[in-house]
Amino acid sequence: MNRDEIEITDFDEIDKVLSESRVCRIALFDGDWPYIVPMCFGYNLKGGKLELFFRCEEKGKKLDLIKNNSNAAFEIDKLREIVKTDRFYGFSVPSYKSITGTGVIEVITGIEKITGLDYIMKKYGEKPEEGKLPEQLLNAFAVLKLTAGEFCCKEHNVTIEN
């Protein structure tokens, strides 16, 4: 890590980064090239373990790729500001907190699918009644769960030095 980056290990702070971030980018294997897609997400962070949940169509490229290789990577960030500094020769530099990691992604069903949808909906301010998701909604989408094998939260804090 360089001097502008610090690792965040406090799980309350990691939870805050997750709750304030709006998009998670997942990377899947597509032959020789990565396939990266931004997605809305929900999460469960308990006991140092992180699970990410995503909603997607029941058919499509993501699901085809996951069937072939369930390994995935992810990136989540919370941009604070863009700083222009002489330290970087006048270039603008982002100041942010981010979480990156790798894990296994899978399609989930049954009660786990309902739980995943609840996490996603609650993250974006929707309040489903406990156990009251309409069956039509449950049948309209696939829900993915990425269980992080490892992840790291960092803060890139640019200071202005002239």
The pLDDT assigned to 94 comes to 73
Number of domains in the chain: 1
Domain with 22 in it: what CATH number? 2.30.110.10
The pLDDT assigned to 89 comes to 65
The pTM for the full model equals 0.87
Number of other residues whose CB lies within 10 A of the CB of residue 36: 13
Tell me the average pLDDT across 114-123.
92
Instruction: Give the domain range for residue 61.
Output: 5-156
The pLDDT assigned to 162 comes to 47
Tell me the average pLDDT across 149-161.
82
Residues 6+ apart with CB under 8 A from 58: 140, 141, 142
Residue 162 located in a structural domain: no
Q: How confident is the model at residue 87 (pLDDT cuts 50, 70, 90)?
A: low
Rounded CA separation 74/41 (Å): 11
Residue 137 located in a structural domain: yes
pLDDT digits (tens, 9 = 90+) for 50-77: 999 999 999 999 999 999 999 999 999 9
Which tokens is 122 given? 């609650």
Q: How confident is the model at residue 85 (pLDDT cuts 50, 70, 90)?
A: low
Residue 161 located in a structural domain: no
Q: How confident is the model at residue 161 (pLDDT cuts 50, 70, 90)?
A: low
Q: How confident is the model at residue 80 (pLDDT cuts 50, 70, 90)?
A: confident
Residue 62 located in a structural domain: yes
Residue 38 located in a structural domain: yes
